[in-house]
Amino acid sequence: MDEKLKNRRRGKSFLLSVLIVVISLVVGMIGGVSGIILLGANDGEYAKKIGIENVEIPTTRTEKIIVEESNAIISATEKVSPSVVSVISKQVYQDVFGRTLEASGAGTGFIITSDGLIITNKHVVSSENTEYTVVMADGKSYDAEVKSRDPFNDLAVLKIDAKNLPVVELGDSDQLDVGQWVVAVGNALGQYKNTVTAGIISAKNRDVETAATASLAAETLSDMLQTDAAINPGNSGGPLVNLLGQVVGINTAVATDAQGIGFAIPINVAKSAIDSIKDTGKIIRPYLGVRYVAVTKDIAEQNDLPYEYGAIIIRGSGIGQVAVVPGSPADKADLEENNIILEVDGERIDANITLLALIQKYSVDDEVELKIYDDGEERYIRVTLEEMK
């Protein structure tokens, strides 16, 4: 009988122990939750005592950044899209057998004035005997006239007969930073109107060699923006915009032997052309008449140059690519091959401000002072800019 009593007591003790353990676990869980609540309620005072005041949940911040960037891209797209147009070309011709054939092409443009001036690429509207049509974002179409083709850059201006059109806002491409988000909008592949791609500014001040076409000679485009925002065939002439929806570039070319390398003309380069077309009805460009390479630290070291900035006048590798154009303002001012142009009217030429950009700040017939390095000495010369034809 005593043995049975002992066993009963042992059983009760075991049950009591289990019950205590369960109660302890529950209380511990409640304490943990309370601790979390108290940490928030007491503004982290207790957290400071135990050394965890800097603990963060990174996923929350990451999600917030993604949402903010997505909203900015959406807003920029909504702002610029109504002003983006498709540019359709149609050319009727006869082949060697006398058959009548039709060739068509497509590009992109954007509206810069409410009465129908449109910017696009010169190579989009390069053919003289071609009909051009502009298709608006809402589907309306208009016959388009080529008002002017830029003799200096891959730019052209179209005119349509329309009123009260939505226009883009122009930004400042000089303020762009490498790594900054941008959005490209265009008529991708000539059939997907107002396609949107996003990426970053990958580099600035790039020189791009374009291939010759049936209607355009090969040329060098200088001071281009490089972006990894996808620029597809048909996107040419469309806007590259920042996250404020301001146009900062004009999509122009893509590296066909690479992925994620596209190029756009900085909008500040185009602004003088836009002002010119508004004032005179055509694009008038001042020019100096030299072929040059921007001097960098590496180029200076490799060629034992006394400066790590400026623009050194050199001839090109192709036939007829002279250093100084005969009869040009530079030729008249006695500029020569291997001269280094250091400043234009007191503004230094460097990686951020190129010779090309500085010259385009002026107008035809303006006289500018150049600081140059010539055969071991610095000197100043004055040059009168002329119209590029």
Percent of the chain clearing pLDDT 70 (strictly above): 77
**Contact between residue 180 and residue 242 where contact means Cβ atoms under 8 Å apart:** yes
**Contact between residue 317 and residue 293 where contact means Cβ atoms under 8 Å apart:** no
Q: What's residue 52's pLDDT? A: 47
Radius of gyration of the chain, Cα coordinates, nearest whole angstrom: 33
**Contact between residue 153 and residue 283 where contact means Cβ atoms under 8 Å apart:** no
For residue 374, what are the CA distances in angstroms to 173, 245, 312?
32, 45, 10
In this structure, CATH architecture of domain 80-160: Beta Barrel (2.40)
Tokens of 253: 């070319």
Q: What's residue 316's pLDDT? A: 79
Euclidean distance between CA atoms 248 and 385, whole angstroms: 27
Q: What's residue 129's pLDDT? A: 82
Looking up tokens 């943990």 gives 32
Segment 9-21 shows an average pLDDT of: 51
How do residues 182-193 score in pLDDT, each as one tens digit? 999 988 766 667
Q: In 3-state terms, what secondary structure has residue 27?
A: helix
Name the residue ranges covered by the structural domains of the chain: 80-160, 169-280, 286-387
Tokens of 320: 């007829």
**Contact between residue 110 and residue 137 where contact means Cβ atoms under 8 Å apart:** no
Q: Is 284 exposed, middle or buried (0-12, 13-18, 19+ CB in 10 A)?
A: buried
Euclidean distance between CA atoms 254 and 252, whole angstroms: 7
**Contact between residue 215 and residue 127 where contact means Cβ atoms under 8 Å apart:** yes
CA angle (182, 251, 241) in 5-degree steps: 30
Looking up tokens 């702002």 gives 79
Which stretches within the chain are classed as H helix?
2-41, 45-50, 58-80, 267-280, 297-303, 329-332, 355-359
- Average pLDDT of the chain is 81
Domains 80-160 and 286-387 are alike in CATH topology: no
Stated as kind and residue range, the H or E segment containing 383 is strand 377-384
Candidates 114, 133, 250; CA nearest to 182 is 250
Euclidean distance between CA atoms 110 and 245, whole angstroms: 13
Most confident of 84-93, 308-317, 369-378: 369-378
Give strand pairing partners of 367. Answer: 384
Q: What's residue 283's pLDDT? A: 87
Q: Which residues does the annotation mark as catalytic? A: 123, 154, 236
**Contact between residue 142 and residue 158 where contact means Cβ atoms under 8 Å apart:** no
- How does residue 217 score in pLDDT terms, banded at 50, 70 and 90? low
Tokens of 112: 């810069």
Q: Is 368 exposed, middle or buried (0-12, 13-18, 19+ CB in 10 A)?
A: buried
The fold for domain 286-387 equals: Pdz3 Domain (2.30.42)
DSSP annotation string for 40-56: HHTTTHHHHHHT-TT--
CA angle (384, 387, 389) in 5-degree steps: 145
**What's the DSSP call for residue 122?**
G
The fold for domain 169-280 equals: Thrombin, subunit H (2.40.10)
Which residues lie below 8 Å from residue 305, measured CB to CB, with a gap of 6+? 295, 299, 312, 340
pTM confidence score: 0.68
**Contact between residue 160 and residue 114 where contact means Cβ atoms under 8 Å apart:** no
Instruction: Say if residue 66's pLDDT is above 70.
Output: no
How do residues 130-139 score in pLDDT, each as one tens digit? 899 999 999 9
How do residues 311-364 score in pLDDT, each as one tens digit? 999 987 777 789 999 999 999 999 999 999 999 999 999 877 888 888 988 889
How do residues 98-148 score in pLDDT, each as one tens digit? 777 767 788 999 999 999 999 999 999 988 888 999 999 999 999 999 999
Q: What's residue 320's pLDDT? A: 72
